[in-house]
């Protein structure tokens, strides 16, 4: 049987994505299944990420699988200097699937090449976090009833935000129109613009987070502007409160608009937005469990 891993959203075809979304939909209707009975799933978190780990472990538990693993590399042999390869080889003897988060970019790709077990990337440094992308896309699909022909506005840190880059890649199969709203220092890198130009994807860039931009959007994807990304702290002070969404700004937005955020948020979405029916970020996190159930079954060839 062919070994499948789930390392980067760029590896997924349009059909793969649609297949996974249909599976996630199925798991939302039937979350508790015995599909992983007798299977051991390793969650190797070389860098702590409580939210992602709990989401994956919930997915495994709901499917009746068993979980082994660690939540911090400080308690493992890698702190004694063991290579990633050796750790992965060792765990491959115990588990049926490896779910890993690592602080180095490319770690999951490398891991998938040194083991015969399927590897699921739960985040590799600033590079990829494909299960987040799938849950974002599932959330878009659920709230809009489709993935095709949507206007998606991304706000905040578009330079370093890996969720932004991956969502852009994943949505590129579905004829989107993108609006990018970011300060000059955190603009979308050129390589993504070249990618969109090559694939005939429409996009606009703004530095102003204006009602006009909001009012034409179907999806508003907010991200956090992080202080540590700025070389010039004066610049940070200038922009930190500019890309903040409050309830008033949604007055004339489209009926079908939904607000997404990969979480955690700091101040980029005011608390008065939380009660607006267009706020979707908490349900979005819940969709993560279904998306991850779909991914785990997919790599294990469980249909």
Partner 1 sequence: MEKKKELHVAALENGTVIDHIPSDQVFKVVSLLEIQNLQTQVTIGYGLDSKKMGKKGILKIADKFFEEDEINRISLIAPSVKLNIIRDYEVVEKKLVHLPDELLGLVKCNNPKCISNCEPIKSNFKIIDKEAVTLKCHYCEMQTKKEDIVLL
Q: Is 104 among the residues that bind partner 1 (CB under 8 A)?
A: yes
Member of 34, 191, 264, 277 binding partner 1 (CB under 8 A):
191
Q: Calculate the dihedral angle through the C-alpha atoms of 12, 15, 21, 25, rounding to the nearest 10 degrees.
A: -150
52 is catalytic: yes
Report yes or no: 94 and 40 within 8 Å, Cβ to Cβ. yes
Contact in structure between 215 and 252 (CB atoms under 8 Å): yes
The site for partner 1, by CB under 8 A, has a size of 19
Is 23 a catalytic site residue? no
CB 292 within 8 A of CB 53: no
**Binding region for partner 1 (CB under 8 A) out of 89-97, 105-113, 171-179, 239-247:** 105-113
Nearer to partner 1 by C-beta: 126 or 266? 126
Q: Are 207 and 181 in contact (CB under 8 A)?
A: yes
Give yes or no for residue 128 binding partner 1 (CB under 8 A). yes
User: Which of 4, 10, 25, 89 touches partner 1 (CB under 8 A)?
Assistant: 10
CA distance 131 to 129: 6
Joined tokens for residue 34: 């015995």
The residue annotated as part of the active site, out of 23, 43, 52, 261, is: 52
Binding partner 1 (rule: CB under 8 A), the pick from 103, 148, 241, 283 is 103
162 an active-site residue?
no
Instruction: Report the DSSP pairing between strands 202-206 and 119-124.
Output: unpaired
Q: Determine whether 101 is an active site residue.
A: yes
Q: Does 133 bind partner 1 (CB under 8 A)?
A: no
Stretch that binds partner 1, among 40-48, 65-73, 125-133, 265-273 (CB under 8 A): 125-133
Classified as helix, coil or strand, 242 is coil
Cβ proximity to partner 1, 71 vs 127, nearer residue:
127
Under the binding rule (CB under 8 A), the answer on residue 196 touching partner 1 is no
- The alpha carbon of 256 is separated from its chain's Cα centroid by a whole number of angstroms, namely 22
Active site (annotated) includes residue 87: no
Tell me: does residue 266 bind partner 1 (CB under 8 A). Answer: no
Q: What is the rounded distance in angstroms from the CA atom of residue 48 to the CA atom of residue 58?
A: 17
Q: How far apart, in whole angstroms, are the C-alpha atoms of residue 261 and residue 285?
A: 9
> Which entry of 14, 30, 51, 204 is annotated as an active-site residue?
51
33-92: contacts with partner 1 (CB under 8 A)? 83-85
Q: Is residue 127 involved in binding partner 1 (CB under 8 A)? A: yes
Strand duo 151-155 + 177-181: pairing: parallel
**Bridge pairing between strands 219-222 and 258-260:** parallel
- The catalytic site residues sit at 51-52, 80, 101, 129
Task: List interacting residues with partner 1 (CB under 8 A).
Answer: 8, 10, 83-85, 102-107, 109-110, 124-128, 191
């Amino acid at each position: 049987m062919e070994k499948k891993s789930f390392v980067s959203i760029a590896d997924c075809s349009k059909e793969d994505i649609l297949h996974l979304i249909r599976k996630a939909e199925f798991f939302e209707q039937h979350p508790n299944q015995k599909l992983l009975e007798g299977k051991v799933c390793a969650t190797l978190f070389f860098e702590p990420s409580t939210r992602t780990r709990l989401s994956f472990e919930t997915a495994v538990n709901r499917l009746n699988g068993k979980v082994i693993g660690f939540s911090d590399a400080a308690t493992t042999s890698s702190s004694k200097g063991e290579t990633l390869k050796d750790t992965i080889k060792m765990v491959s003897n115990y588990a049926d699937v490896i779910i890993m988060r690592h602080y180095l970019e490319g770690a999951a790709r490398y891991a998938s090449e040194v083991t015969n077990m399927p590897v699921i990337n739960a985040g590799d440094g600033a590079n990829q976090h494909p299960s987040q992308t799938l849950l974002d896309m599932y959330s878009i699909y659920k709230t809009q009833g489709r993935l095709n022909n949507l206007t998606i506005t991304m706000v905040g840190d578009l330079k370093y935000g890996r969720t932004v880059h991956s969502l852009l890649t994943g949505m590129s199969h579905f004829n989107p129109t993108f609006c990018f709203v970011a300060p000059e220092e955190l603009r979308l890198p050129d390589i993504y613009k070249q990618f969109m130009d090559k694939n005939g994807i429409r996009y606009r860039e703004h530095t102003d987070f204006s009602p006009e931009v909001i009012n034409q959007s179907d999806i508003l994807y907010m991200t956090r502007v992080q202080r540590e990304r700025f070389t010039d702290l004066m610049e940070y002070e200038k922009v930190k409160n500019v890309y903040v969404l409050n309830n008033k700004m949604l007055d004339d937005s489209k009926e079908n608009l939904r607000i997404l955020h990969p979480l955690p948020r700091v101040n980029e979405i005011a608390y008065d937005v939380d009660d607006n029916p267009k706020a979707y970020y908490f349900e979005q996190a819940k969709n993560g469990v279904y998306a991850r159930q779909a991914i785990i079954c997919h790599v294990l060839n469980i249909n």
